Amino acid sequence: MTNPIGRRLDRLESHVENETNPGYGPVFELHDDPRDPDNAERLAEAVQFRLKHPHGMIIHRIIISPPEGHSTWEQFHVTGTSAEIAKQQAAECSAKLDAMITKASVH
């Protein structure tokens, strides 16, 4: 008889595997934080991954921060513009990654 904790761990491991690798081939998790000094390296790694694995999946997680000069989102929540600003930042990050991949693919 299998240990109940062992069965739960097996199910959890299977669930995690399915969530992180749903069958699209290799998976690359990109944590894109434009304010992080190491972000350029992570973007370059994502580009190299795409060149090496054209059918692989990049999970692009974008870290959204308050606009420059603001330490919090408070005033943007009050005015109702926080979602718009966040969408704009996310679109800019996605466009930047797409442009980098396109440029590297052409060369």
Confirm whether 6 is domain-assigned: no
What letter does residue 32 receive in the DSSP assignment?
A: E
Does the pLDDT of residue 5 top 70, yes or no? yes
Distance of CA 63 to the CA centre of its chain: 8
Q: Calculate helix-pair angle for 82-106, 39-52, nearest 10 degrees.
A: 50
Could you tell me the two tokens for 37?
Answer: 């000094």
Q: How many domains does the chain have?
A: 1
Confirm whether 93 is domain-assigned: yes
Tens-place pLDDT, residues 58-80: 999 999 999 888 889 898 888 88
15 pLDDT band (50/70/90 cuts)?
confident
Could you tell me the two tokens for 98?
Answer: 């797409």
Confirm whether 38 is domain-assigned: yes
Confirm whether 41 is domain-assigned: yes
Confirm whether 15 is domain-assigned: no
Average pLDDT value for the chain: 88
Q: Are 55 and 22 in contact (CB under 8 A)?
A: no
Confirm whether 13 is domain-assigned: no
Averaged pLDDT for residues 50-54: 93
Confirm whether 12 is domain-assigned: no
Confirm whether 59 is domain-assigned: yes
What letter does residue 97 receive in the DSSP assignment?
A: H
Could you tell me the two tokens for 34?
Answer: 């434009």
Residue-number span of the structural domain to which 64 is assigned? 23-106
